[in-house]
Amino acid sequence: MPRLTSSPPHIRFFFPFFSYIPCVVFLCFLSHAAESQIQDQELQVLSKLRQSWQAPSSLDHWVASDSSSHCAWPEIKCQEGSITELNLVDLNINYSIPPFICDLKNLTKLDLSYNNIPGEFPTVLYNCSKLVYLDLSQNYFKGPIPPDIDCMANLQVLILAANSFSFDVPASVARLRRLRILHLYMSEYNGTYPEEIFGLSDLEELRLEYNKKFVPSQLTQNFTVLKKLRLFSMAQTNLYGGIPKTVSDMEALEHLNLGINPLTGEIPGSIFALRNLSDLYVYETNVSESIPQAVSAANLRVIDLSLNNLMGNIPEVFGQLKNLYCLNLEFNQLSGGIPEGIASLPALSDIRLSNNNLSGTIPPDFGKFSPLRRFEVAFNNLTGALPKQLCHGGTLFGLATMDNNLSAELPESLGNCSTLLEVMLNNNGFTGNVPGGLWMSQNLTALLLSGNGLTGELPKELSPNLTRIDLSNNKFFGKIPSTLSSWRNLVEFDASNNLLSGTVPAELTVLPSLTMLLLGQNKLSGNLPTDIISWKSLTTLNLSHNKISGPIPSKIGLLPVLTLLDLSDNQLSGLIPPEFGQLNLNGLNLSSNRLRGPIPAKLENAAYDTSFLNNPGLCASNPFMRINVCNAQSHRSSKTNLTLIVILAIAAAICVLLVVLFKSKASRKNRDRFDSTPKLTSFQSLNFTESNILSGLKEHNVIGSGGSGKVYRIMVNPSGEAVAVKRISNNQKLDEELEKQFVSEVEILGNIKHRHIVKLLCSISCENSKLLVYEYMENSSLDQWLHKKKRSSPIPGVTNNMILDWPKRLQIAIGAAKGLCYMHNDLRPPIIHRDVKSSNILLDSEFNAKIADFGLARMLAKPGEAVTMSAVAGSHGYLAPEYARMARANEKIDVYSFGVVLLELTTGREATDGEEGMGLADWTFNHIQRGKPISDVIDEEIKGSSYLDEIIKVFELGISCTATQPSDRPTMKEVERVLSKRGHSQENIRWVLPST
Ligand SMILES: *[C@@H]1O[C@H](CO)[C@@H](O)[C@H](O)[C@H]1NC(C)=O
Ligand SMILES: *[C@@H]1O[C@H](CO)[C@@H](O)[C@H](O)[C@H]1NC(C)=O
């Protein structure tokens, strides 16, 4: 648990003891003297070590004291006063390992994982002759593993994973005969690995996975000596050819992962369970019942062969693996049926067989004996009914059977499965009603039932977590209910191609989060509701192929983000509302209705040339619109319009002229009022003057105000270019603190140019007022987007219903992390911001994040060094505990605050808004400490997306960043790296959560 630090009580010789047993005293004294000599030497080594690593703050407690020996420091273990273990995990060590570390002659364990150590493999460690355990994982080592590494002959544990080692894995590794644990996963090896590794008879864990640059190879045939191997992973290592039967020689195997390879051939079924009996039986899949007890002792818990090209059947004998917990065979070409036995495995929790060619029925006992959590058999040719008891264990959260030929009614029990998160049963042949309880299943976020033969009426009530419902291509009938208040969180609703009748109720237009509403190909009739109450997020509306009549509501033309509109093949009549000219549509179809009159001029665009067909009364002024050309009369009317427009334009021009005249006068006045001699210091070439700025300091230009003053948005030229101006103090004499902030901001920001740090264009300074002029950020600040419901939004064009979707949030997190990372690592001297919060993360028109407000920022002498600040400053909810207590801080206080921002992004809550009086950081940490599911606290607005796993990873990163101990927090570099990998690929991350 990262939040608790307990140093083991140090046991020291208790002095009064001497006086009672004089004989022992002498002996003890001798050995004590020898011990203290060793201790002194070793203490010196430690202090040199700390120095050579430039004294990272994580090792601040490495100072000699009389009251306790270094053996009591948490990183160190001693035996008889001599150091045997150094556990230097995640301590911000950025420099190489010095040779004198081996002066610790009794060192047996060295763990340097999760640091930033650069360079080649540290051959200086060859002198640590007693070393048994070496962990260098999660650093920046590169180059080859040296060919003479076998001189570290005592090594039993060698963990080099998650570095950038390249070239071959040398044969010398396989000459480390005592190895029990060998982890070489996630590196850059671009050569081969030595076959001799499989001859290391003491191996318990062999992990080579995620080395996709390995030269393609076939798996060895010879596993005979690996009798102790429990974990074997070669996922994504370019293995081709078949899986040899001899895999079964690894008798102790618990975890087998060969996923993401081009392996072919059949899964050599029997072998996984047969073990020593292979010489007694000529094993065939159809005699599984005769396999004796020995089989059930098989140890396998995890089998992952996903994403290969395996063919043939799933071996029957998998049904005998009593400890099997996870079976992942998805994305292969397996055929035949799902073996009955698998359905009754007592430990099975996670079964993934999707994307194969499996056929036959799903064994009906699935779930009856197993605590199933995920059941995925999608994209196969399975037939028959869905097993009735999938949720019997009360743990099922993922159910995916789409794209099979399953039939019959859905089991009623699915309606009583409150753990369900996603149910995807689309494209099968299910019939009958949807079990009533399913609509109301309290955690359900997505329900996909399209492409079946389901019937019944739409539910009057829905689970409040449901955001995505697809009922299309079924036989649902009846009216769309008008009691829709429980539908309010719906984001996507597709009920196309059913038998729905009645009208589109006005209540449907209330749903504020709806982005997609598809009701085409039903029997809807009557008029459309004229008053569209919300639909501020609606991007796609399809009501085509119904019998809807009456006029098109003009309010549809005012939907702010509508991009696809299909009202074709109805009985709509009247004019196309002129408001439609304001829509920015990628697709429009109004054809086959009874519309009449001219189409709005803005829609006379080749992009819409098939949008109006088959409406005999419609006309256009251009023949390319493929409808009637409007007659002379309408020409005349458009001419009158033109005259009107010209007159209006002239009037407007006069108005503008007057306003400009008036304004320039006013601005002169204003400038006079401002101050005697304003001094402008520019940091960029400017396309505006100081009077542009001064004349814009008007109340109606104010877009925000904070502790230090007001912020204005000021247009600086007629093309609409704007800048943001922060005015520090309001004509009073600046107090000292504000003056300091101004100087800090100018000093620091004026010299930084980085994509993710806001640009300071210039400063304007005079005796009692200071102005800072920045680039204007169209999308304001992150907090406005995340916490808009609790405040009114001042962002022009942004309504309270626009959702910041997950990809945008991740993009913002990555950008902000890059900005902070730059400040901490690339600037000399490094800078800490001290006031990272969502309102200081600004967003440009494309949602690129930029760090702003450097009023509290301070330069550090060097990275990692804690400095004492004159006073605690920063914002409530974002303050790192060590800073709040002692006003001592290094860059890890920014990591803490950034962690709070990550928690805001994932939970949607404000930094101060935990429950039970806690801030967000403490509250979320408490939540997971109590073992509650993370998904409970994820922001509802993004929860239903397909990114849930990713969101949870980022949430966990936020938890790590807000660890109480600064040394438990990752660096901004690590944070940035983890986030960027999330953003771009599914590659495994280098950095993972410390165990909580
Ligand atoms: C190693 O530890 C032993 C006690 O376990 C001690 O006697 C010996 O002096 C130590 N060796 C060194 C070189 O410190
Ligand atoms: C393997 O990678 C290293 C380091 O990037 C490079 O120097 C070497 O040429 C590569 N070898 C091969 C065979 O591609």
Question: Computed from CA positions of residues 599, 603, 609, 610, in that sequence, does the dihedral angle turn out positive or negative?
Answer: negative
Q: Is 539 in the pocket of ligand 2 (CB under 6 A)?
A: no
What residues are in contact with ligand 1 under a 6 Å CB criterion?
38, 79-80, 82, 105-106
Binning pLDDT at 50, 70 and 90, where does residue 864 land?
A: low
Q: How many residues in total does the chain contain?
A: 996
Say if residue 668 is in the same domain as residue 785. Answer: no
> pLDDT per residue over 724-777, tens digit each?
888 876 445 556 666 777 777 787 777 778 889 988 888 887 766 778 888 888
Residue whose C-alpha is closest to residue 306's, from 325, 326, 324: 326
> pLDDT per residue over 956-992, tens digit each?
999 999 988 888 899 998 899 888 876 443 333 333 3
User: Is 964 part of any domain?
Assistant: yes
Kindly report the protein residue whose alpha carbon is nearest to atom 4 of ligand 1. 80
Please provide residue 42's backbone torsions phi and psi, each rounded to the nearest 5 degrees: -70, -35
Residue whose C-alpha is closest to residue 852's, from 861, 840, 837, 864: 840
Residue 167 Cα to ligand 2 middle (Å): 6
Decide which of 627, 657, 673 is a domain's last residue: 673
Is there a contact between 896 and 922 (Cβ–Cβ < 8 Å)?
Answer: no
Q: What is the mean pLDDT of residues 791-820?
A: 73
Residue 636 has pLDDT above 70, yes or no: no
CA–CA separation, 614 vs 589, rounded Å? 11
CATH number of the domain that residue 101 is part of: 3.80.10.10
User: Is 283 part of any domain?
Assistant: no
Q: What is the DSSP letter of 278?
A: G
| Residues paired with residue 832 on neighbouring β-strands, in sequence order | 858
Decide which of 122, 152, 167 is a domain's last residue: 167
Q: Is 192 in the pocket of ligand 2 (CB under 6 A)?
A: no
Say if residue 972 is in the same domain as residue 846. Answer: yes
Amino acid letter, 650: I
Number of separate domains in the chain:
3
Choose the weakest-confidence range: 406-420, 525-539, 724-738, 744-758: 724-738
CA–CA separation, 883 vs 880, rounded Å? 5
Residue 430 has pLDDT above 70, yes or no: yes
Is there a contact between 85 and 109 (Cβ–Cβ < 8 Å)?
Answer: yes
User: Is 30 part of any domain?
Assistant: yes
Binning pLDDT at 50, 70 and 90, where does residue 887 land?
A: low
What token pair was written down for 796?
A: 């022009």
Choose the weakest-confidence range: 236-240, 290-294, 774-778, 872-876: 290-294
Residue 65 Cα to ligand 1 middle (Å): 22
Place of tokens 């063919």: 311
Of all atoms in ligand 1, which is nearest to the CA of residue 82?
A: 2
Which of 165, 166, 187, 213 to mutate to test ligand 2, by most ligand atoms within 8 A of the CB atom? 166
∠ CA 567-569-571, nearest 5°, is 90
What token pair was written down for 758?
A: 């806001």
Task: Give the model's pLDDT for residue 409.
Answer: 96
What token pair was written down for 146?
A: 């040296």
Task: Give the model's pLDDT for residue 940.
Answer: 87
Q: What is the DSSP letter of 826?
A: I
Residue 18 Cα to ligand 1 middle (Å): 24
- Top-confidence residue, 178 or 974: 178
- Top-confidence residue, 871 or 199: 199
> pLDDT per residue over 3-44, tens digit each?
333 333 333 333 333 333 444 444 445 566 677 788 889 999
Of all atoms in ligand 1, which is nearest to the CA of residue 34?
A: 9
Closest ligand, as measured to the CA of 144: 2
CA distances from 319 to 339, 363, 366 (A): 7, 12, 12
> pLDDT per residue over 939-956, tens digit each?
988 887 788 888 999 999
CATH number of the domain that residue 860 is part of: 1.10.510.10
Choose the weakest-confidence range: 107-116, 282-291, 340-349, 423-432: 282-291
Residue 353 has pLDDT above 90, yes or no: yes
- Top-confidence residue, 670 or 435: 435
* Percentage of the chain modeled with pLDDT above 70: 82
Task: Give the model's pLDDT for residue 648.
Answer: 52
Task: Give the model's pLDDT for residue 879.
Answer: 84
Task: Give the model's pLDDT for residue 912.
Answer: 84
Residue 160 Cα to ligand 2 middle (Å): 18
Residue 135 has pLDDT above 50, yes or no: yes
Of all atoms in ligand 1, which is nearest to the CA of residue 41?
A: 14
Burial 968-981 (b: 16+ CB within 10 A, else e): bbbbbbbbbbbbbb
- Top-confidence residue, 71 or 703: 71
Task: Give the model's pLDDT for residue 768.
Answer: 65
Cis peptide before 829 (omega within 30 of 0): yes
User: Is 441 part of any domain?
Assistant: no
Closest ligand, as measured to the CA of 215: 2
Say if residue 803 is in the same domain as residue 951. Answer: yes
User: Is 965 part of any domain?
Assistant: yes
Closest ligand, as measured to the CA of 211: 2
* Percentage of the chain modeled with pLDDT above 90: 48
Task: Give the model's pLDDT for residue 955.
Answer: 93
Residue 355 has pLDDT above 70, yes or no: yes
- Top-confidence residue, 396 or 862: 396
Residue 822 Cα to ligand 2 middle (Å): 29
CA–CA separation, 840 vs 2, rounded Å? 28
Residue 889 has pLDDT above 90, yes or no: no
Catalytic center residues: 835
| Residues paired with residue 517 on neighbouring β-strands, in sequence order | 493, 541
Task: Give the model's pLDDT for residue 191.
Answer: 96
Q: Which domain holds residue 146?
A: 13-167
Residue whose C-alpha is closest to residue 258's, from 345, 195, 329: 329
Task: Give the model's pLDDT for residue 566.
Answer: 95
Of all atoms in ligand 2, which is nearest to the CA of residue 142?
A: 4
Q: What is the mean pLDDT of residues 682-707?
A: 78
Choose the weakest-confidence range: 472-486, 566-580, 669-683: 669-683
Q: Is 166 in the pocket of ligand 2 (CB under 6 A)?
A: yes
Please provide residue 232's backbone torsions phi and psi, each rounded to the nearest 5 degrees: -130, 115
- Please report the DSSP string for 950-982 in residue order: HHHHHHHHHHHHT-SSGGGSPPHHHHHHHHHHH
CA–CA separation, 692 vs 716, rounded Å? 6
CA–CA separation, 265 vs 315, rounded Å? 13
Amino acid letter, 501: S
Task: Give the model's pLDDT for residue 484.
Answer: 81
Kindly report the protein residue whose alpha carbon is nearest to atom 8 of ligand 2. 167
Closest ligand, as measured to the CA of 142: 2
Binning pLDDT at 50, 70 and 90, where does residue 794 land?
A: very low
CA distances from 226 to 197, 229, 275, 303, 496 (A): 10, 5, 13, 18, 58
Choose the weakest-confidence range: 30-34, 451-455, 629-633: 30-34
Q: Is 167 in the pocket of ligand 2 (CB under 6 A)?
A: yes
Helices 892-907 and 972-984: crossing angle, nearest 10°?
A: 30
Provide the mean pLDDT of the chain.
83
User: Is 364 part of any domain?
Assistant: no
User: Is 423 part of any domain?
Assistant: no
Kindly report the protein residue whose alpha carbon is nearest to atom 6 of ligand 1. 82
CA–CA separation, 528 vs 548, rounded Å? 7
Decide which of 144, 167, 190 is a domain's last residue: 167
Of all atoms in ligand 1, which is nearest to the CA of residue 38?
A: 14
| Residues paired with residue 596 on neighbouring β-strands, in sequence order | 617
Residue 803 Cα to ligand 2 middle (Å): 46
Helices 972-984 and 948-961: crossing angle, nearest 10°?
A: 180
479 annotated as a binding-site residue:
no
User: Is 757 part of any domain?
Assistant: no
CA–CA separation, 909 vs 901, rounded Å? 10
